[in-house]
A and B are shown apart, each in its own frame.
Chain A
Amino acid sequence: MSKTKGLLFDVTLCIGCGACYDACKQKNKLPKTNQNFLSDHLSANTFTVLEQYNEYYARKLCMHCDEPSCVSVCPVGAFSKSKTGAVLYDGDKCIGCRYCMQACPHKVPRYEWGKTQPRVRKCNMCDDRIKEGKIPACAEACPTEATLFGDIDELVEVAKRRIKENKRNYYPHIYGLDEAGGSHVLILSPVPFEQLGYTPHLPKEPMPMLTMKAMEKIPPVVGVGGIFLGGMYWLTKRKNQIAKEKNEIKKELQEHEN
Chain B
Amino acid sequence: MKTNSLLKFTFWKIVAVIIIVAGFISTYYRFTKGLGATTNLSDLVPWGLWIGFDFLGVGLAAAGFTIAATVHIFNLHRFEPIVRPAILTAFIGYSLVVGLLVVDLGRPENFWHPLVMWNIHSVMFEITWCIICYTTVLMLEFAPVVLEKFNLKAPIKLLKKISIPIVIAGVLFSTLHQSSFGSLYLIVPGRLYPLWYSSLLPVHFYISCIAAGISMIIFESYINARAFNTGLRLNILSELAVVVVIVLAIEFILKISDLLLSGKFNYLITLNMESFLFYLEIIIGTFLPIILLGSKRNRENKGILFIGAICVICGFILNRMNVCMTGMAASSGVSYFPSFDEISITFMLVVLAMIAFNLVVQNFQVFTYTEEHVIQENGVVETKKIITSE
Q: Which residue of B lies closest to A232 (CB)?
A: B73
Contacts of B328-362 to chain A: CB distance below 8 A: none
> Are B189 and A210 within 8 A (Cβ)?
yes
Establish whether residues A233 and B124, one from each chain, have CB atoms under 8 Å apart when the complex forms. Answer: no
Please give the distance in Å from A105's CB to the nearest CB on chain B: 6
Contacts of A75 in B (CB 8 A): 113-114, 119, 122, 124-125, 128
Closest residue of chain A to B182, judged by CB?
A: A214
Determine if B123 and A73 form an interchain contact, defined as CB atoms under 8 angstroms apart.
yes
Alpha-carbon separation in the docked complex, A125 to B280 (Å): 46
Q: Knowing that A74-B119, A101-B46, A218-B126 are A-B contacts, what are 6 other residue pairs whose CB atoms are under 8 Å apart, sorted by A's residue number? A: A95-B113, A98-B46, A114-B37, A213-B199, A229-B168, A233-B72
A99 close to chain B: CB less than 8 A: yes
Q: Please name all residues of chain A whose beta carbon is closer than 8 Å to the beta carbon of B46 when the two chains form the complex.
A: 98, 101-102, 111
Q: A116-B31, A208-B121, A215-B183 are in contact. Are A96 and B105 (CB under 8 A)?
A: yes
B179: min CB distance to chain A, Å: 8
Partner of A215 from B74, B113, B123, B164 at Cβ < 8 Å: B123
In the assembled complex, the Cα of A214 lies from the Cα of B187 at a distance in Å of 11
Within the complex, what minimum Cβ distance (angstroms) separates A169 from chain B? 29
User: Which residues of chain A (205-238) have a CB below 8 Å from chain B?
Assistant: 207-208, 210-215, 218, 221-222, 225-226, 229-230, 232-233, 236-237
* Complex interface residues of chain B between 114 and 173 (CB less than 8 A to chain A): 114, 117-119, 121-126, 128, 164, 168, 171-172
Q: A237 and B75: CB pair below 8 A?
A: yes
Which residue on B lies nearest to A200, using beta carbons? B190
Q: Is B11 an interface residue (CB 8 A)?
A: no
| Interface check A81, CB cutoff 8 A | no
Interface CB pairs A-B, < 8 A, 18: A72-B187, A73-B123, A74-B119, A75-B114, A76-B117, A76-B119, A95-B110, A97-B124, A98-B106, A103-B188, A116-B33, A118-B107, A210-B186, A211-B186, A215-B123, A229-B73, A229-B171, A233-B164
CB contacts (< 8 Å) of A96 on chain B: these are 105-108, 110
Chain B nearest CB from A92 CB (Å) reads 8
Least distance between B315 CB and chain A CB atoms (Å): 24
B282 touches A (CB below 8 Å): no
Considering only CB atoms, which chain B residue lies closest to A100 in the complex?
A: B46
Q: How many A-B residue pairs have CB under 8 A?
A: 163
CB < 8 Å neighbour of A110 from B34, B43, B74, B175: B43
* A residues near B168, Cβ cutoff 8 Å: 226, 229-230, 233
Residues of B within 8 A of A249 (CB): none
Residue B35 interfacial (CB < 8 Å) = yes
Q: Which of B44, B46, B114, B180 has the most CB of A within 10 A?
A: B46
A residues less than 8 Å from B124 (CB atoms): 73-75, 97, 99
The A61-106 residues at the B interface (CB cut-off 8 A) are 69, 72-78, 93-99, 101-103, 105
With A95-B111, A210-B189, A233-B164 as known contacts, state yes or no: A115 contacts B105, CB within 8 Å.
Answer: no
- CA gap between A118 and B199 in the complex, in Å: 33
Check: B47 CB closer than 8 A to any chain A CB: yes
| B41: Cβ under 8 A from any A Cβ | yes
Contact A95 B188 (CB under 8 A): no
CB nearest neighbor in B for A69: B187
Report yes or no: B35 in contact with A118, Cβ–Cβ below 8 A. yes
Which residues of the partner chain A approach B76 to less than 8 Å between Cβ atoms? 236
A43 on interface, CB distance cutoff 8 Å: yes
The interface residues of chain B lying within 8 Å CB-to-CB of A101 are 43, 46
In the complex where A111-B106, A232-B74 touch, is A103 in contact with B187 (Cβ < 8 A)?
A: yes
Task: Give the complex CA separation of A103 and B331 in angstroms.
Answer: 13
Cβ-closest 6 pairs across A and B? A96-B106, A113-B36, A236-B75, A75-B125, A75-B124, A98-B46
In the complex, chain B residues whose CB is within 8 Å of the CB of A99: 122, 124, 184
Is A134's beta carbon under 8 Å from chain B?
A: no
CB-CB under 8 A from A239, the residues of chain B are 75
In the bound complex, how far is the Cα of B75 from the Cα of A246, in angstroms? 18
Q: Find chain B residues with CB under 8 A from A4 CB.
A: none
Provide the B1-24 mask, 1 if CB < 8 A to any CB of A, else 0. 000000000000000000000000
> Is the CB of B247 closer than 8 A to any CB of chain A?
no
B119 CB contacts on chain A under 8 angstroms: 72, 74-77
Contact of A211 among B31, B32, B117, B187 (CB under 8 A): B187
